[in-house]
Amino acid sequence: MERGVSDLNILEKFALEFTHIVEQYGRYIIVSGFVAIVHGRSRATEDIDMILERISKEKFVQLHAHLEKEGFECIQGENPVMLYDEYLAQNTPLRYIRKGMPLPDMEIKLAKDKLDELQLQERTKLPMTNLPFWFSSIETNIAFKEEYLKSPKDLEDARHLRVLYEGILNEEQINRWKVLIKKVRL
């Protein structure tokens, strides 16, 4: 059973409101630190990372207008055409916040390569979190943290997820992702 809104923390409420809008325009996944935090990792973060399928400029203009109407603002600017051309199309993420509240922010980028597209294809809900969001799989998150991101914080996130999913994790999948990461990103 999904959690009631009163059980959610500020990050989760923010993500819930944001994804409710975004999902009307394209497929998304939430990746990286937020995935560990919704699994109980006790660490701070100021943003949530989202990958959105490569939507058209026209669609993004509509999405941006919808987000603004619902009280979000993009910290890089107001003009959606500029935001698309100078940021999203160049694979630079945008950051959206609640108007007047600097934190938290949603860092949103378009799928930029085969790895992002594959993560979107294999997106999943994570029942252990009781949350309605679409995530990249736990195996993918672990592979990225151990093979690509590798900061102490990311390695600790991966370790935390490994303990939680012990006995359920598909190590073959993790290794498959690590091979793909090496091939495409490193």
Partner 1 sequence: MADKERLQQIDRWAAYCKAEPEKAKKAVNGLVDAQIDIANRFYQRLRKTPEGRKTYEKLLKLRMERSGKGK
Binding status of residue 171 toward partner 1 by CB under 8 A: no
How big is the chain, counted in residues? 186
- The stretches of 40-169 forming alpha helices (DSSP H) are 57-69, 80-86, 114-121, 138-144, 152-164
- Angle at which helix 10-22 crosses helix 57-69, to 10 degrees, equals 130
Binding region for partner 1 (CB under 8 A) out of 15-23, 57-65, 97-105, 134-142:
97-105
Residue listed under structure tokens 């990746």:
31
Q: Site size for partner 1, by CB under 8 A? A: 40
Q: What does the alpha-carbon distance between residue 36 and residue 144 come to, in Å, rounded to a whole number? A: 13
* x-or-dash string of contact with partner 1, 122-151, rule CB under 8 A: ------x-------------------xx-x
Binding status of residue 7 toward partner 1 by CB under 8 A: yes
User: Which residues make up the interface to partner 1 (CB under 8 A)?
Assistant: 7-11, 31-32, 37, 39-42, 44, 46, 49, 75-76, 91-95, 101-105, 107, 109, 128, 148-149, 151, 156, 159-164
